[in-house]
């Protein structure tokens, strides 16, 4: 099919690409705050639309019906999935986005290899093999993280005898194949490199488990960004270089921030399972006695307090109890009680999970306090109400060397005068270790679904 002639000259193409790049930068700025995140998403979507239209108008494209058909199929699949995905499944969706981006970059690089056959195309082939390897690792690794989070496979680390040796051998073989592709431009060797990248991605993520999986998603996001940036070099597209670099840089920064919030290094998170250092431990239920409570007693504690700090966690997201939590906070504030929400950086299954969850329930942004600013306030809190969180308030992070979470900064819930845990059962959190705070004399437990328990407590508060 004859390709359409470009409708834009290079000057207009460069200006539109610049506008799209500015949109991407402004989108990242907006996404740095829950207050402006929606606007940031819209600005980013505008940038993507500008970039897509510019490609159509400035390039000699053949097979336009096939391209439009592929876009239509992708939109038909993606739009319903994105609208219907539950908050608890957002990390899985992000993992799929990561994987698709990395896989697409790898396929583009593979298809461009036959065109990089000139005497001066050595650097282009180098960018191709980088994109092939990193994109394949991102695709396969993201698929494994999706399977872990979706519980299609065990969420615990998967290790076996000789795994480090096998991983090293695969990476060495990939480097040899990459060198050969750069030197010869061989398509069969490029396919071998792609396959080795897929195997490396699987082996890289298998030993990661528990609360470390979302951090790996962020790292793979950075990998995808680097692969996209390299594909921009392959295609000679400056916007791809800019967009990929932004994704790679932001993913790297986020990975480091999440690792710091866990109190561990990225290397320890990725390879800690080889030394028994994963955050995924036992799932056994404790039979130690605890002080149980009922909604009416919890309502009395809350209703006659002066300051209450609510600590949301993954259990709140699972129960979809955010609206009830917001209503409870409003009822307490109507009684003149100071209410705040304490947000741990890794509460839930991804950074900002609790912020987005509570924003969905119209909780004022001013009521959401990050760990660094709220920890000093627990001493003045009459009640700390922990809803579905466990590891992020577990004192073992400070008091138990050798614990999987030792060294992780936590919310200082133990400093509150009274502590109430809303839990389904005594099963441990993702780290798989007991929380000694549950057995503290000042701690009361209200068992049940978080939304149901909050509804009962709310009714009892209103009846006071």
Instruction: Note every long-range contact of 6-10, with CB atoms under 8 Å and residues 24 or more positions apart, other chains counting.
Output: 6/57, 6/58, 6/59, 6/60, 7/57, 7/58, 8/54, 8/57, 8/58, 10/58
Catalytic residue among 297, 338, 382, 391: 391
Q: Is 391 a catalytic residue?
A: yes
| SS3 at position 242 | helix
- For residues 34 and 341, the answer to whether their CB atoms sit within 8 Å is no
Q: How far apart are CA 185 and CA 114, in angstroms?
A: 7
Cβ atoms < 10 Å from Cβ of 173: 16
| Nearest residue to 224 via CA among 245, 197, 199 | 245
What does the block give as tokens for 303? 């209703």
Give me the residue label for tokens 């993913």. 251
> How many Å from the N-terminal Cα to the C-terminal Cα in the chain?
76
Whole-angstrom Cα Rg for the chain: 25
Q: How far apart are CA 114 and CA 119, in angstroms?
A: 13
| Nearest residue to 344 via CA among 410, 297, 412, 408 | 410
* DSSP classification of residue 380: G
Q: How far apart are CA 334 and CA 385, in angstroms?
A: 18
- For residues 234 and 108, the answer to whether their CB atoms sit within 8 Å is yes
Question: Known catalytic residues?
Answer: 391
């Amino acid at each position: 099919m004859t390709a359409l002639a470009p409708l834009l000259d290079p000057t207009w193409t460069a200006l539109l690409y610049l506008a799209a790049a500015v949109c991407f930068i402004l989108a990242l700025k907006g996404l740095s705050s829950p207050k402006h995140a929606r606007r940031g998403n819209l600005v980013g979507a505008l940038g993507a639309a500008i970039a897509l239209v510019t490609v159509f108008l400035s390039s000699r494209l053949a097979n336009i019906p096939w391209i439009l058909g592929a876009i239509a199929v992708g939109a038909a699949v993606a739009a319903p999935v994105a609208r219907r995905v539950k908050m608890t499944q957002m990390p899985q969706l992000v993992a799929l986005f990561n994987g698709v981006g990395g896989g697409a970059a790898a396929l583009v690089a593979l298809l461009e290899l036959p065109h990089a056959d000139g005497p001066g195309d050595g650097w282009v082939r180098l960018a191709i093999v980088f994109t092939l390897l990193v994109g394949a690792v991102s695709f396969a690794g993201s698929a494994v993280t999706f399977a872990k989070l979706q519980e299609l496979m065990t969420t615990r680390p998967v290790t076996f005898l000789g795994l480090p040796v096998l991983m090293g051998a695969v990476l060495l073989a990939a480097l040899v194949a990459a060198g050969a592709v750069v030197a010869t431009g061989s398509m069969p060797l490029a396919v071998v490199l792609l396959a080795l990248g897929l195997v490396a991605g699987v082996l890289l993520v298998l030993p990661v488990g528990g609360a470390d999986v979302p951090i790996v998603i962020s790292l793979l996001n950075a990998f995808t960004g680097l692969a996209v940036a390299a594909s921009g070099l392959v295609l000679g597209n400056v916007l791809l270089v800019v967009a990929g670099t932004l994704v790679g840089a932001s993913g790297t920064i986020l990975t480091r921030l999440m690792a710091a919030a866990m109190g561990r290094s990225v290397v320890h998170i990725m390879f800690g399972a080889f030394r028994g250092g994963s955050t995924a431990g036992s799932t056994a239920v404790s039979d130690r006695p605890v002080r149980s409570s009922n909604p009416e007693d919890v309502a009395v504690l809350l209703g006659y307090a002066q300051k209450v700090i609510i600590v949301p966690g993954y259990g709140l997201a699972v129960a979809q109890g955010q609206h009830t939590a917001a209503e409870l906070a409003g009822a307490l504030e109507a009684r003149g009680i100071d209410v705040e929400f304490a947000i741990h950086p890794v509460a839930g299954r991804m950074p900002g999970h609790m912020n987005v969850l509570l924003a969905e329930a119209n909780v004022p942004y001013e009521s959401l306090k990050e760990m660094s600013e709220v920890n000093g306030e627990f001493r003045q809190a009459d009640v700390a109400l922990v809803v579905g969180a466990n590891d992020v308030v577990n004192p073992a992070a400070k008091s138990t060397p050798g614990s999987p979470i030792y060294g992780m900064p936590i919310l200082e819930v133990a400093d509150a005068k009274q502590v109430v845990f809303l839990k389904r059962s005594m099963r441990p959190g993702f780290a798989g270790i007991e929380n000694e705070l549950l057995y503290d004399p000042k701690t009361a437990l209200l068992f049940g679904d978080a939304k149901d328990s909050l509804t009962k407590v709310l009714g009892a508060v209103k009846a006071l």
